[in-house]
Structure 1
C-alpha cells in the first residue's frame, strides 16, 4: 500500500469516527443541540482537524444525511433483486422506509434537515448537497422501476404514468413515515394515542389502500401486510 493510499484510508477512518460521534450526540441531545466542540471531544480529534473534514455544523449534519440516504437507497434498491411481483415490491419498499426510520431516528433527523434547507449559503458551501440528492434520486428511480415491473407482470394497472404514480406514493408515504418519527421521538405528539391508532394497523391500511387503487383485478390483495412491518 502506497503512502497516498494510506493517507486516504486514514482520512476516511477519521471522517467515519467524526460522523459516529455526531450521531451519538444527536441521539443523546437532539440535532438542535449538536455542538462542534463536543463532536471533536467525542471523536477524540482536535477542533482544527474536525474543520478539515466538515466546514461547519450544517456540513456535518449533511455528511450524516449522505450516509443515511445512501443506506436507505441501498435497502430500497435491494428490493428490486427479489423474485416477487411489482406490487409486492412497492409494499416492501414502503416497509423498508418505515423500518429504517424507526430503527435509525438520528439518520432521519439529518434527512429532515436536508429537506428543510433554505439558506443559499448552506446549499453552496457543502459538498454533500449533491450527494444527498443523488441518493434520494436513486431511491425514487427504484420505486419507478418497481412500478414498471408491476405493470409488466400484470400486478399493477398500466393506465398510470409510472413516474407520476411513484411521486404520489413517495410523497404520501413520506408523510406517514414522518408521523411515525414524530410519534416515536416527540413526546408532545399524541395524535395516535388520542385516537387509539396503532402504527402497524395504520401502515397496513395505507398499503392495502394503495393496493386497491393500483393493483389489477387479477392480483388478489390478501397479503398479511402487518408481517412486513417490523415496528415493535
Structure 2
C-alpha cells in the first residue's frame, strides 16, 4: 500500500471513529449534548483535530444522518419482500413506522431536526434521503402503473404517502397527541389503525 492510499485509509478510519462516537452520544444524550469538544474528549483527540475533518457540528451530524438512512435502507431491504407491489407498499409503511419506534433519536435527526440540513447548500440535492425516497417513489410508480392505487402522479403519491406517515410519527415523537387526550398505551393502536385506513383509502 502506497503512502497516499494509507493516508486515505487513516482518514476514513478517523471519520469512522468520529461518526461512531457522535452516534453513540446523540442516541444516549440527545442533540444538545453533541459537540465537537465532547466528541473529541470521547475519542481522546483535541477539538482542533476534529475540525480537520468537519467544519462544524452540523456537517458532522449530516454524516450521522447518513448512517441513519443506511440503517433504514437495510430495514427496507429485509422487510419489503412481497411479490405484490401494493403488499410491498404496506410493508414499507410498517417498516417506516417500526423504524421510528425503534430508533426515535435517529428518526428525529433524519426527518425533524433542521441542523444537519444546514450542511446542504440550497442548490444541492439532499443525497442522504435519496435512497429511501427513491424506494418509495419507485414503488408508488409501480402501483400506479398496475392501477393498484388511486394516485395518477408518482411524485404526488410518494409525497402524500410520506407526509401522512411522517405526520403521525412526528406528532407522536413531539408528544403532540396530548391534545387529542389519547392515553399513551393507546397511541400505537391509533397510529396503526390510521395507517391501515390510509392504505385502504388509496387502494383501487
Question: TM-score by structure 2 length?
Answer: 0.82
Residue 214 of structure 1 aligns with which residue? Answer: 202
Residue 170 of structure 1 aligns with which residue? Answer: 162
Per the TM alignment, residue 79 of structure 1 is displaced from its structure 2 partner at its CA by 5.6
Return the alpha-carbon distance in structure 2 between the equivalents of residues 22 and 85 of structure 1. 39
- Count matched residues: 202
Per the TM alignment, residue 170 of structure 1 is displaced from its structure 2 partner at its CA by 0.8
Residue 131 of structure 2 aligns with which residue? Answer: 138
Residue 226 of structure 1 aligns with which residue? Answer: none
Deviates more, 1:55-64 or 1:142-151: 142-151
Q: Residues 57-76 of structure 1 correspond to what in structure 2 (within 5 A)?
A: 57-76=57-76
For structure 1, which runs of at least 5 residues remain unmatched after alignment?
Answer: 184-188, 217-232
Contact 2:141–2:154 (Cα < 8 Å) also in 1: yes
Deviation per residue, 1:89-146 (Å, 9 max, x gap): 11211222222222223322322224785x6xx5449xxx957x12323322211221
Q: 1:5 to 1:199 in 2, by over 3 A?
A: farther
Report runs of 4+ in structure 1 exceeding 6 Å deviation: none
Residue 30 of structure 2 aligns with which residue? Answer: 30
Larger RCO: 1 or 2 (CA < 8 Å, sep 6+) = 1
Residue 20 of structure 2 aligns with which residue? Answer: 20
Contact 1:85–1:153 (Cα < 8 Å) also in 2: no
Q: Residues 128-207 of structure 1 correspond to what in structure 2 (within 5 A)?
A: 130=124, 133-153=126-146, 156-157=148-149, 160-183=152-175, 191=178, 194-196=181-183, 198-207=186-195
Deviation per residue, 1:190-219 (Å, 9 max, x gap): 628942262431232122212221223xxx
Per the TM alignment, residue 148 of structure 1 is displaced from its structure 2 partner at its CA by 2.6
Contact 1:23–1:106 (Cα < 8 Å) also in 2: no
Return the alpha-carbon distance in structure 2 between the equivalents of residues 115 and 50 of structure 1. 18
